[in-house]
């Protein structure tokens, strides 16, 4: 395996960063997770644009242009020969000292990893999953904008621990007003009365690339997509519920906090969206010319 590290492709065993890197010391940086399907990097430009937007918000100057970052990502996928896989792209503040001042970091660290990923077992897509609501709340918009995909995921990790302790794979995170924001690593959707509903980004949801894709597909197959406010009452009484994410894709939810969703099995609408999504992912993106 070859890792892109600051402009060079190096073997995994030699891909190392300093213990003084502020990404390690303080979680100071941004990242993206991107999928490769049959040699096609799905919506690569949209992911890279989101990366640069996150970096701009935290005043992190990425040491290469957006176009060069796209080229480097394609090059790394090609060099590893992975026609199906997962890309983790990380830009940290770089090496500094033991103070938090980012002015002490000279050059940001850029890392591109191409590997495999399997967040959920294949059977979950057929049987569905159960969720709980975490007691850990989403960090308020006033404190840290959820649209920043930063390296500091401790808030989400705490909620994930709650899910694991409850024996379920994912947990719903509420915002400071008690409304639904998202899950620990995925966006959340419900279907009700012909509407395809998901929390607005101002409610604490990350503007996921898969989330945006599902909103587009939902409209194409006849749903009325809406980014809105949702409470747990809306989830408990939904006809269907599902999660979306780069790693997860589209995962049906059949139970929330002990309450069955719909008839307690994956819904037909969720199935239609998943099929439409899987037809799209192999064509909508950047094709890689493998060596």
Average pLDDT over residues 66-95: 97
Average pLDDT of 253-274?
97
Please state, in angstroms and rounded to a whole number, the distance separating the CA atoms of residues 219 and 195.
Answer: 9
Give residue-wise pLDDT tens across range 266-288: 999 999 999 999 999 988 888 88
Tell me which residue of 185, 188, 211 sits closest to 277, measured CA to CA. Answer: 211
Give the pLDDT confidence score for residue 222 in this predicted structure.
94
Q: What is the pLDDT of residues 177-224, one digit of tens each?
A: 999 999 999 999 999 999 999 999 999 999 999 999 999 999 999 999
149 classed as catalytic? yes
What domains can you pick out in the chain, each with its CATH number? Answer: 2-115 (3.30.470.10), 124-280 (3.20.10.10)
- pLDDT attached to residue 278: 93
Overall residue count recorded for the chain in this entry: 291
Model confidence at 239, pLDDT cuts 50, 70, 90, reads very high
Per residue, the 3-state secondary structure of 260-274, as one string, reads ECCCCCCCHHHHHHH
Other Cβ atoms less than 10 A from the Cβ of 25: the count is: 18
What gap in Å lies between CA 188 and CA 270, rounded to an integer? 12
Active-site annotation holder among 68, 149, 192, 219: 149
Q: How far is CA 117 from the centre of its chain?
A: 13
pLDDT at 79: 96
Which pLDDT band holds residue 291 (cuts at 50, 70, 90)? low
pLDDT tens per residue across span 101-154: 999 999 999 999 999 987 789 999 999 999 999 999 999 989 999 999 999 999
What was the pLDDT predicted at 117? 84
**In this predicted structure, what is the pLDDT of residue 33?**
97
Residues 6+ apart with CB under 8 A from 123: none
pLDDT of residue 61: 97
Q: What is the distance between the alpha carbons of residues 137 and 225, in angstroms, rounded to a whole number?
A: 26
């Amino acid at each position: 395996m070859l890792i892109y590290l600051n402009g060079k492709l190096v073997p995994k065993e030699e891909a190392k960063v300093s213990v003084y890197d502020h990404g390690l010391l303080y979680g100071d940086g941004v990242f993206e997770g991107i999928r490769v399907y049959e040699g096609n990097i799905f919506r690569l430009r949209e992911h890279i644009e989101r990366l640069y937007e996150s970096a701009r918000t935290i005043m992190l100057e990425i040491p290469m242009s957006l176009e060069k970052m796209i080229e480097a990502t394609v090059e790394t996928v090609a060099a590893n020969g992975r026609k199906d896989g997962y890309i983790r792209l990380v830009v940290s503040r770089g090496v500094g000292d033991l103070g938090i001042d980012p002015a002490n970091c000279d050059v940001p660290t850029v890392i591109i990893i191409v590997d495999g990923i399997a967040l959920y077992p294949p059977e979950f897509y057929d049987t569905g999953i159960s969720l709980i609501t975490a007691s850990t709340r989403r960090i308020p918009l006033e404190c840290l904008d959820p649209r920043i995909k930063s390296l500091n995921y401790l808030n989400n990790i705490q909620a994930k621990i709650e899910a694991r302790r409850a024996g379920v794979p994912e947990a719903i995170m509420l915002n400071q007003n008690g409304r639904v924001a998202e899950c620990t690593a995925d966006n959340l959707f419900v279907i009700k009365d012909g509407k395809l509903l998901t929390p607005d980004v101002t409610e604490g949801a990350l503007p996921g690339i898969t989330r945006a894709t599902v909103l587009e597909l939902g409209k194409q197959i006849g749903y009325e997509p809406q980014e809105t406010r949702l409470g747990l009452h809306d989830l408990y009484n939904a006809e269907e519920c599902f999660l979306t994410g780069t790693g997860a894709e589209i995962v049906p939810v059949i139970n929330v906090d002990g309450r069955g969703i719909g008839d307690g099995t994956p819904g037909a609408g969720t199935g239609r969206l998943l099929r439409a999504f899987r037809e799209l992912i192999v064509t909508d993106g950047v094709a890689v010319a493998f060596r």
